[in-house]
Amino acid sequence: MISYIEKLTNEILNGRKITYEEALNLINIDNNDLGILNVLFENANKIRDKFNGKKADLCTIMNAKSGKCSENCTFCAQSSHYNTGVEEYPLVSYDDAYKRAKEMEAKGAHRFSLVTSGRGMTDKELEDIIDIYKRLKENTTINLCTSLGIISYEQAKKLVEAGVTMYHHNVETSSDYYKNVCTTHSYDERIETIRNVKKAGMEVCCGGIIGMGESIEDRIKMAFEIRELEVESIPINILNPIKGTPLENNESLEPMEILKTMAVYRFIIPKSYIRYAGGRMLLEDTQNIGLRAGVNALLVGNYLTTIGNDIDQDKKMVEEEGLEIIY
């Protein structure tokens, strides 16, 4: 297996894309075979460093509108279909958004995103959030991202004009498994939104969640489907089961399973950011290993409804692993 991993790595470094079957061979490495896994991780880093350099991108999010979501995504604390006790509030004010953006800018985050619950934005909400982004563009230097659900090309163009440079919209899982995750909107609607924002001129942050009951094959299919979308950033979330949701009793993934998945995604998608996102706290004291296994971006600070890592601790971890933080 060592020679197989090294052969694949050399071919990727020379421009070849690996196949679905080859990726399955990698993801099926035994989680207890630490010797082989270390070789996989080392080679994932070789691929990362060749195409991206030894640099790390730090982003942060703000829950800008919470709860009362009409959609039934089975993992989500903010869905109105489930009783999770999540805090509910309308769109935040500019002052609150500005305060958070400046705080995270001062701490070293490279990107700042307002994230709203719901299928999409009403006309009034979009108008209000565009005003917020225009003012943030004038009064901060942080890169502006957003995650507003399903949007049209026309809406995306307005966001670009307001200064937003990247749109976050996950596929969540493979197209085959998607029906087990959400039935109130389709996988194709998600893809249409991604195409709309790309056409409007934004970069795209698109990943998913692992640990929702999907198969290993689904996990790999998701990576290949994302590869076809040619996105700039791929956040990999690890399910953190929320009480009250249909997935509340799902067993958490083993750390080595998570890290192996990160590494294999780097083999499949050499040039994009592979981003630690929600749920990485489940890795506990092994989080740094991901930075030796192809990861080169992190969602820092708190998440939408759960507590995240302290940004200063994350910066220290990144620097200790020899990566330069992008400012």
- pLDDT surpassing 60 at residue 169: yes
pLDDT band at 294 (very low <50, low <70, confident <90, very high): very high
**So what's the pLDDT on residue 128?**
97
**Nearest Cα residue to 156 out of 188, 120, 118:** 120
Q: Which two tokens stand for residue 111?
A: 């990107």
| Count of domains forming the chain | 1
Domain CATH code at residue 190 = 3.20.20.70
- pLDDT surpassing 80 at residue 160: yes
Contact between 121 and 129 under an 8 Å Cβ cutoff? The reply is yes
According to DSSP, the residues that pair with 144 across neighbouring strands are 112
pLDDT band at 305 (very low <50, low <70, confident <90, very high): low
Across 210-214, 287-291, 310-314, least confident range: 310-314
pLDDT band at 306 (very low <50, low <70, confident <90, very high): low
pLDDT band at 304 (very low <50, low <70, confident <90, very high): low
**Annotated binding-site members:** 69, 73, 76, 113, 145, 205, 275
**Annotated binding-site members for [2Fe-2S] cluster:** 113, 145, 205, 275
**So what's the pLDDT on residue 87?**
86
User: Which H or E run includes 190?
Assistant: helix 187-200
**113-156 pLDDT tens trace:** 999 999 999 999 999 999 999 999 999 999 999 999 999 999 99
Q: How many CA atoms lie within 13 A of 249 on its CB side?
A: 1
**Nearest Cα residue to 288 out of 264, 248, 323, 253:** 323
- pLDDT surpassing 70 at residue 187: yes
**So what's the pLDDT on residue 308?**
63
Contact between 64 and 92 under an 8 Å Cβ cutoff? The reply is yes
Phi and psi angles of residue 78, each rounded to the nearest 5 degrees, phi first:
-95, 0
Residues with Cβ within 8 Å of 312's Cβ and at least 6 positions away in sequence, in order, are 107
**So what's the pLDDT on residue 167?**
98
Q: Considering the chain, what is the average pLDDT of its residues? A: 95
Structural domain including 72 reads: 2-325
Task: Return the number of other C-beta atoms located less than 10 Å from residue 34's C-beta.
Answer: 11
**Annotated binding-site members for [4Fe-4S] cluster:** 69, 73, 76
Q: Model-level pTM?
A: 0.94
What integer is the mean pLDDT of 61-86? Answer: 91
Greater model confidence, 307 or 87: 87
* Whole-number percent of the chain with pLDDT over 70: 98
**So what's the pLDDT on residue 327?**
81
User: Which H or E run includes 47?
Assistant: helix 34-52
Long-range contacts of 156-161 (CB under 8 A, 24+ apart): 156/196, 156/197, 156/199, 156/200, 156/202, 157/200, 157/201, 158/126, 158/130, 159/130, 159/133, 159/197, 159/200, 159/202, 160/200, 160/201, 160/202
